[in-house]
Amino acid sequence: MASPDEEDVSGLAALWLQSSAIRKGSMQRKSLLQWQDPKKSGHINFESLVLNAKVIEVCVHYWCPKTDGVPKTMNIDDLKFEVRQFRADLNLSTRPALVHCEAGALKAFMSLIVRRHYTVRHRVAQLKKLTCLLIFFGGMFGAQNA
């Protein structure tokens, strides 16, 4: 099992900033994440997962190698720090409520993927891609796939 230091998410904000698609979209929306409409902001489901596939893909590439094959999600406090850093680097508001909501949504997205790892059969291309990445990174689900 990886040590606690290996399971932090420091540097995730920098990886989001490296992606021009994430950076440009965030500047336009004034938010790291996007939603179907304002009334559905914060609703974690497959539709919102697809809308945020680029952000989640960065998380998957970064996080899964650190979990040592154990299915787990990211620490909310570490995510808050990274979201706050990302928003500050883009000169977006770093109000605690906004940071908390985006960090909580990221954690929930990762939990959704972990719980629904068998959704490769799902017909949404982005979801298939994310699920395949998770399976590639470790049999993240270990013996559960056997």
- The answer to whether residues 113 and 67 touch, using CB atoms and an 8 Å cutoff, is no
Q: What is the DSSP letter of 6?
A: G
pLDDT at position 121, please?
47
Tell me the two tokens of residue 101.
């909501």
Lowest mean pLDDT among 5-9, 13-17, 36-40, 55-59: 5-9
pTM above 0.85, yes or no: no
98-137: pLDDT as tens digits? 999 999 999 999 888 777 654 444 445 666 666 666 655 5
98 neighbors 87 (Cβ within 8 angstroms): yes
Average pLDDT on 42-64 reads 87
- To the nearest 10°, report the CA torsion of 5, 107, 60, 29: -120
- Of 144, 10, 125, 133, the C-alpha closest to 64 is 133
Domain boundaries defined on the chain: 4-145
Q: Which of 73, 84, 140 is nearest to 107 (CA)?
A: 73
Instruction: Report the C-alpha gap between 4 and 146 in whole angstroms.
Output: 27
